[in-house]
Amino acid sequence: DQQVKQNSPSLSVQEGRISILNCDYTNSMFDYFLWYKKYPAEGPTFLISISSIKDKNEDGRFTVFLNKSAKHLSLHIVPSQPGDSAVYFCAAMRNRGGKLIFGQGTELSVKP
Amino acid sequence: EAGVVQSPRYKIIEKKQPVAFWCNPISGHNTLYWYLQNLGQGPELLIRYENEEAVDDSQLPKDRFSAERLKGVDSTLKIQPAELGDSAVYLCASSFQRNTEAFFGQGTRLTVV
């Protein structure tokens, strides 16, 4: 049972344009959501998070949107840069309890 | 500030042999996690420690996997005996508290032949 799903395994975007990565979840008890970025041969790096009491959180070029009624979150990167090329994982946590449930990842490629 | 340190980075062993992974978390982080990542998948939690206590090990295959976190700092994860299906990346992570973001090490890529 995949509780967190990233249905797009890959995404290709032109440099300077917006990248939108999507994530769906099934468990309504999730109350904290995170995005991680992973380069090859490295561990995931924390990018941005959002609590279920909010619907938007912004940090520089990165914005995460949460739609609780649709059980959907998205990560927007504006403008996209070639260095953003990586695999992006969304993750969810229940009751801020420490256990992260990850999606399968989306590989973003930003073309110069 | 040093991040989460894992060793070794790569390990190749024959099936049925034992193997151990080591993790040093970020200083001051009380919560430590071991995750397993198969190719093309997201990480999956194996075990979570709060200080030296394993508070969530429901996903750890206890017939062959064991872990310890002596003194609530470093941790080791052991597999004995290893099977072909154990080939994966083993990630260690730590966080200041259980409800804050986790920081990951570079992982150990295990290949069982």
Q: Of the candidates A4, A71, A64, A49, which has an alpha carbon nearest to the alpha carbon of residue B102?
A: A49
Query: Cβ contact (<8 Å) for B43 and A32?
Result: no
- From chain B, pick out residues whose CB is under 8 angstroms from the CB of A93: 99
B98: closest chain A residue by CA: A98
What pLDDT, on a 0 to 100 scale, did the predictor assign at position B11?
97
The per-residue pLDDT for A30 is 93
Across B38-50, average pLDDT: 94
Regarding predicted confidence, which is higher, B95 or B1?
Answer: B95
CA distance B70 to chain A (A): 20
Q: Provide, as residue numbers in chain A, all residues whose Cβ is less than 8 Å from the Cβ of B107.
A: 42-43
Q: Which of A3, A52, A57, A102 to mutate to test the interface with B (most CBs of B within 10 A)?
A: A102
Average the pLDDT over A16-24 and give the result: 98
pLDDT reported for residue B97: 77
Contact assignment for B101 to A45 by CB distance below 8 Å: no
What would the mean pLDDT of A8-15 be, rounded to a whole number?
97
Pair B42, B62: CB distance under 8 Å? no
**Distance (Å, rounded) from C-alpha B38 to C-alpha B85?**
10
Q: Are A21 and A108 in contact (CB under 8 A)?
A: yes
Q: Which amino acid is at B96?
A: F
Do the chains contact at B48 and A34, CB–CB below 8 Å? no
CA nearest to A47, candidates B96, B104, B48: B104
Q: H/E/C letters for each residue in chain A?
A: CCCEECCCCEEEEECCCCEEEEEEECCCCEEEEEEEEECCCCCCEEEEEEECCCCEEEECCEEEEEECCCCEEEEEECCCCHHHCEEEEEEEEECCCCCEEECCCEEEEEEC
Q: Evaluate if residue A13 carries a pLDDT over 90.
A: yes
Tell me how far apart the alpha carbons of residues B5 and A16 are, in angstroms, rounded to a whole number: 35
Of B42, B45, B107, the CB nearest to A89: B42
Task: Read off the pLDDT of each residue in B21-34 and give the average, rounded to a whole number.
Answer: 94
Q: What is the DSSP string of B51-85?
A: TTEEEE-TTS-TTTEEEE-GGGS-EEEEESS--GG
pLDDT tier at A97, thresholds 50, 70, 90: low
**Rg from Cα positions in chain B:** 13
pLDDT tier for residue A41 given thresholds of 50, 70 and 90: confident
* Rounded-to-integer distance, Cα B110 and Cα B90, Å: 7
Q: Is B107 on the interface with A (CB under 8 A)?
A: yes
